[in-house]
Structure 1
Amino acid sequence: MSQHSRRLLRGFGLVCALALAATACGGSDDDSGQKKIGAADLQAALKKGGTVTVWAWEPTLKQVAADFEKKYPEVDIELVNAGTGNDQYKGLQNAISAKKGVPDVAQLEYYALGQYALTKEITDLTPYGAGKLEGSYSPGPWNSVKFDDGIYGLPMDSGPMALFYNKKVFDKHGIAVPTTWDEYVEAGRKLHKADPKAYITSDVGDAGLTTSLLWQAGSHPYKVDGTEVGIDFTDAGAKKYTATWQKLIDEKLLSPIAGWSDDWYKGLGDGTIATLPIGAWMPANFASGVKDAAGDWRVAPLPQWEKGKSASSENGGSSLAVPALGKNKELAYAFVEYANSGPGVQTRIKNGAFPATAKDLNSQAFQDTEFPYFGGQKANKIFADSAKGVPAGWKYLPYQVYANSIFNDTVGKAYVSGATLPEGLKAWRDKSLDYGQKQGFTVQK
């Protein structure tokens, strides 16, 4: 590694110096890269007991923690909600920098995991036996926790995409459920012509949706090899996405209401936002936030870029990781495996979580679950099929958190000005690469 590449990565979440040795940043005595931790070691740690501090915002973990403590009475799980997403990441980074108050387990979204893996701020779980679980998970989530030859977390949930659509609105205007993105554009045109106040979906520029649709289209924009990164939004998959989505923007077929706002929920409720291409974790949000539209909505497979195909994508999802500066790694891993691969999975499913485990996704009981909100539809079958269709090989930048934070200042301009999506994506690329270079990455321009 060059001296240039060893510079401190000062960006969000990237403050440890890159080291040649397979040790953790900040002087941690973590030796998980060399020492194998067997089942006997884990059982001994559980018998001895101790406190495991878990930073996570996912609500179903509360019952999992209680069940774990009941099974292992010498262990105390201290569940802390340090904020969702970026708020927790800031707190986690502050704790790592100070080498004080670092949790034993941390919830990390898949797109954020890479930056912690690169700087060895989280533990490679391979020596703990995580590799044996590879066949337990659907491909998308499993690929998201693997970096180089290591496994840096266990998948907690997943977000295989589907198309949520307002059947009442579609039936009213005689609109067929689109099976391709070209048909989706046509549906948007027909809907907006019939009701100028109604839009096929809401999108004012969203990094997560954009990257998910690029993923589905077969694009591989991010090239990552250690500290070498490249970005290319001009491959064939990206061109499919930009050509289609540009029509929706140019023809003003997208609602200008920002996602997750009060007006957004209102639009979902009154039919002025007619579809959502989004992850399988969305049903609970419909049930709690759009109660008055119960029975109006249904779920369909994600429209395809090529007719007859069955490609999907992931949209959202998190892992549980073990910070390198945590004090109780054996207990921490035992809890992570229990929550994400063991009995905790069923507990979380019963409380509304969408699993990443293939066995549960494919179980008859799971797929036969009826959703009263969606008119009794067995939507999990669609979600499970979607999980099988996620293309392999997708990578995020090791500083994707930063990249996503500048999306609205770059690609977002294509939604509100004369700039085109390809121009916006180029600006996003250039700004992201400039940032990476300043942080010590070797960038391909």
Structure 2
Amino acid sequence: MRTNSTRRLLGAVATACVLAIGATACGSSDPATDGGTEKDVASALQKGGKVTVWAWEPTLKKVAADFEKKYPKVDIELVNAGTGDKQYTALQNAIAAGSGAPDVAQIEYYALGQFAIGKSVEDLSGYGAAAYDKTFTPGPWNAVKDDKSVYALPMDSGPMALFYNKKVFDKHGLEIPTTWDEYVEAARTLHKADPKVFITNDTGDAGATTSLIWQAGGRPYKTKDTDVSINFGDAGTKTYTNTWQKLLDEDLVAPISSWSDEWYKGLADGSIATLAIGAWMPANFTSGVSSASGDWRVAPLPQWTKGDTSSAENGGSSLAVPKAAKNKELAYAFIKYATTGAGASARVAEGAFPATKADLESKAFLETPFPYFDGQKANKIFADSAANVGTGWSYLPYQVYANSVFNDTVGKAYVSSTPLGKGLEDWQKKTAKYGSDQGFNVGK
């Protein structure tokens, strides 16, 4: 759930920046500072200097050390300014103050739009970033660009898969569900056999909900400059709500919040039997559910239509260069290194899940056994999922705010008789009003 600091952040972004789109917007309006070239980047590396990186992702420590070894004149300073919203608040405050902004900032995909439309981050096309359109998998690449601009380079990705407790499934004679209808039947069988066992947990999560709508073919958000449309009445959304409502109506979902102590306990003791979540989850099983090592496995995400192979992204972040950065050319050189080639491979070796096709397709990556999953080569499933992420998805340019009011609207479906579809309708109205109040042209 998002905090009040998120709301202040979005208010600052929208009020200061949105109405200026197409003119100077936020950030510098001096063409001389609005992006360099590949030649400028090469010259900057020869000259050297300091690059300040705000990020919480731990594998960047290895990347920074390798980069400094390759370019001895460059000093990379990693700063953890807080995760997610905390960093975004600090970043926006620095931008508004005109001082203190980093040269590189880690920004999650769902949050990037607010900085892009506010002209707070560099368009990296001039540096050559557009040439990487075939380097990254579709989901992350689509999240960092629009028709003409590239606002960041993808650092990782979260193609979805189904994590399931094989020990529990074997005990109750269940087959792995290949469709969501089969998933509902498995939920019924489990809960009937043991009322203490649930197919999954859910108390209302914006990221999980939108990811499953994405997989179902829903495209509720469309954005072009300041024109925004929000429509949770489309066919894909209805496909999702029709199925998920059955799980809620029949009390087949554990009313437990993800990442809580109770959640970890449920994963460990088998009372939560599956998770549909991003490919970054294995490390969390290893560190947080160590007692269940060997019990869990990975399977492809169930499909809304039998025989399909569609997937979606759940999580992931990028590296961007703020407009207020002092060393933009060096900053781009670093994010290029960190997200492609040797830098990306080094991060994968440290446990990150890649957004680069080359790493996803490498034999070493695909053949990596996961001891936690009893030696299963789960990366093959994750890689297939990444290749089948549905195209055309976009977030709102104020998605951070939208997510912050999810539990005030859709969340009611988990604690009252409010239908899930009605909750999404209320979410749509609330986020549409907010967008209109901030100067967006909001339609349906």
TM-score interval, smaller chain: over 0.9
Q: Which amino acid aligns with 2:412?
A: K
Q: Which amino acid aligns with 1:25?
A: C
Moved over 4 A (4+): 20-24, 30-33
Does the CA-based 8 Å contact 2:21-2:225 persist in structure 1?
no
Residues 149-180 of structure 1 deviation map (CA, whole Å, 9 limit, x = unaligned)? 10000000000000000000000011111000
Does the CA-based 8 Å contact 2:268-2:292 persist in structure 1?
yes
1:135/1:26 CA distance change after superposition, 3 Å: closer
Q: Which residue of 1 aligns with 2:319?
A: 320
Q: Which residue of 2 aligns with 1:409?
A: 408
Does the CA-based 8 Å contact 2:256-2:263 persist in structure 1?
yes
Q: Which residue of 1 aligns with 2:153?
A: 154
Q: Which amino acid aligns with 2:266?
A: G
Q: Is 1:375 matched up with 2:382?
A: no
Does the CA-based 8 Å contact 1:12-1:402 persist in structure 2?
no
Secondary structure at the aligned position of 2:16 is classed as: coil
Residues 334-366 of structure 1 deviation map (CA, whole Å, 9 limit, x = unaligned)? 000000013111110011000000011011110
Moved more, 11-20 or 296-305: 11-20
Does the CA-based 8 Å contact 2:117-2:397 persist in structure 1?
yes
Secondary structure at the aligned position of 2:77 is classed as: strand
Residues 265-285 of structure 1 deviation map (CA, whole Å, 9 limit, x = unaligned)? 111000000000000000000
Aligned-CA RMSD value: 1.4
Q: Which residue of 2 aligns with 1:121?
A: 120
Measure the CA separation in 1 of the matches of 2:328 and 2:23: 17
Task: Tell me how many residue pairs correspond in the alignment.
Answer: 435
Secondary structure at the aligned position of 2:182 is classed as: helix
Does the CA-based 8 Å contact 2:47-2:73 persist in structure 1?
yes
Secondary structure at the aligned position of 1:412 is classed as: helix
Deviation at 1:15, TM superposition (A): 4.5
Does the CA-based 8 Å contact 1:12-1:401 persist in structure 2?
no
Residues 396-426 of structure 1 deviation map (CA, whole Å, 9 limit, x = unaligned)? 0000000000000000000110100110000
Deviation at 1:19, TM superposition (A): 2.9
Does the CA-based 8 Å contact 1:52-1:328 persist in structure 2?
yes
Deviation at 1:31, TM superposition (A): 4.2
* Counterparts of residues 128-207 of structure 1 (less than 5 Å): 128-207=127-206
1:334/1:416 CA distance change after superposition, 3 Å: same
Measure the CA separation in 2 of the matches of 1:85 and 1:126: 25
Q: Which residue of 1 aligns with 2:11?
A: 11
Q: Which amino acid aligns with 1:19?
A: A
Measure the CA separation in 2 of the matches of 1:55 and 1:426: 36
Give unpaired runs (5+ residues) of structure 2.
Answer: 1-8
Deviation at 1:58, TM superposition (A): 0.4
Measure the CA separation in 2 of the matches of 1:179 and 1:298: 14
Q: Which residue of 1 aligns with 2:441?
A: 442
Measure the CA separation in 1 of the matches of 2:28 and 2:281: 41
Q: Structure 1 length normalisation: TM-score?
A: 0.95
Does the CA-based 8 Å contact 1:114-1:147 persist in structure 2?
no
Does the CA-based 8 Å contact 1:32-1:125 persist in structure 2?
no
1:191/1:31 CA distance change after superposition, 3 Å: farther
Q: Which residue of 1 aligns with 2:276?
A: 277
* Counterparts of residues 346-357 of structure 1 (less than 5 Å): 346-357=345-356
Residues 33-83 of structure 1 deviation map (CA, whole Å, 9 limit, x = unaligned)? 5x6502x32121011111111000100001111111111111111101111
Q: Which residue of 2 aligns with 1:428?
A: 427
Secondary structure at the aligned position of 1:287 is classed as: helix
Measure the CA separation in 2 of the matches of 1:145 and 1:354: 17
Measure the CA separation in 1 of the matches of 2:186 and 2:82: 39
Calculate percent identity across the aligned residue pairs: 67
Q: Which residue of 2 aligns with 1:331?
A: 330
Q: Which amino acid aligns with 2:230?
A: I
Q: Which residue of 1 aligns with 2:84?
A: 85
